Amino acid sequence: MSTAKHWPQSLIACLAITAGCAQVAHAAATSKPDLPRQRAVPGGVALLPLADAKAPRPHAWLGEAPVMVLQSRGKWYAVVGIALANPVGPAQIAVGNGAVAAADDRSTGFEIRPWHYREQRLQVAPAQVNLSDADLERVGRERARIHAALATWTDSPPATLQLRAPIKGLRSSSFGLRRFFNGESRDPHSGMDIAAATGTPVHAAAAGTVVDTGNYFFNGNTVLIDHGSGLMTLYCHLSSIGVKIGDQLESGAVLGAVGATGRVTGPHLHFGVALNRAFVDPALFLRP
């Protein structure tokens, strides 16, 4: 029988390279997206270990919404988006082995911690904040449409959870900002504003499928992308839209251009990230 010490050095080198390539290929095939930064607060993300990676992939739900489950660091993790409206205190997800929720699913608990977001109080003319009946009816229709799009679920996980910035520009810390107009509270800001000039190309933050486009009362020209397993990104106030529903986009693909459409005072991009139907802080997913 031949032994390694009698093999030509060139063959040994070739075998070493082949083995190394196989190891790299195996690592690429089994590697999982890096997890986002954890911040278990309203508008944040909770990372909950569920099982050893050798076990079959479990399924998880937060209420009626399915939750992303990924393999990382030798374990299965639930990556849970926490809505801004979620109360502080104990919370739980249901975990089971079936593709749909069942009565005998076990519960995994976690704690939602308090978090302070900025507030802004403004005095403006009533006509600037009080919508007409027709506008209110339109806003209601559009809200239902966006919620339906956010409920899209594809079982395949995202290619990555480390998103690229859709444009270069100054990122505001406006996520979660609650405005009070003439003493009346409005919904907190559910995305990140990024400053840029009108016409600046806007890029997809990761690979995905366009699930909605349209012109909305508040958001203006809007694109919504499904990245898989409940991860969505939202791009608002665009001056133009360059994609259509059903388009498959690569990471970095141009989907439109910065504008000032909708209810805004100047050009910028409103960038939103949703996870299991809840808008969360995009900064937890963006690369530094």
Q: The domain that contains 172 carries what CATH number? A: 2.70.70.10
Whether 71 and 144 share a structural domain: no
Q: What is the DSSP letter of 88?
A: S
Q: Which of 58, 89, 112 is the last residue of a domain?
A: 112
| Domain presence at residue 128 | yes
Domain count for the chain = 2
Residue 203: CB partners within 8 Å, gap ≥ 6? Answer: 164, 166, 167, 252, 253, 254, 255
Residue 14 has pLDDT above 60, yes or no: no
Would you say 217 and 139 are in contact if contact means Cβ atoms under 8 Å apart?
Answer: yes
43: nearest Cα among 285, 288, 282, 287: 282
How does the average pLDDT of the chain come out, rounded? 87
For residue 127, what pLDDT is reported? 64
Last residue of a domain, one of 62, 83, 112: 112
Q: Are residues 164 and 57 in the same domain?
A: no
Quick one: 144 and 94 in the same domain? no
The least confident of 134-148, 177-191, 223-237 is: 177-191
Q: Where are the beta strands (DSSP E) in 16-83?
A: 45-52, 59-62, 65-72, 75-81
| CA 199 and chain centroid, separation | 24
The yes-or-no verdict on residue 49 having pLDDT over 50 is yes
Whether residue 172 is found in the same domain as residue 270: yes
Residue 104: domain span: 45-112
What pLDDT, on a 0 to 100 scale, did the predictor assign at position 4?
41
User: What's the predicted TM-score (pTM) here?
Assistant: 0.85
Average the pLDDT over 50-58 and give the result. Answer: 94
70-83 burial, b if ≥16 CB within 10 A, otherwise e? bbbeebbbbbbbbb
Please give the pLDDT value at position 150: 96
- Inter-residue contact 281 to 233 (CB < 8 Å): no
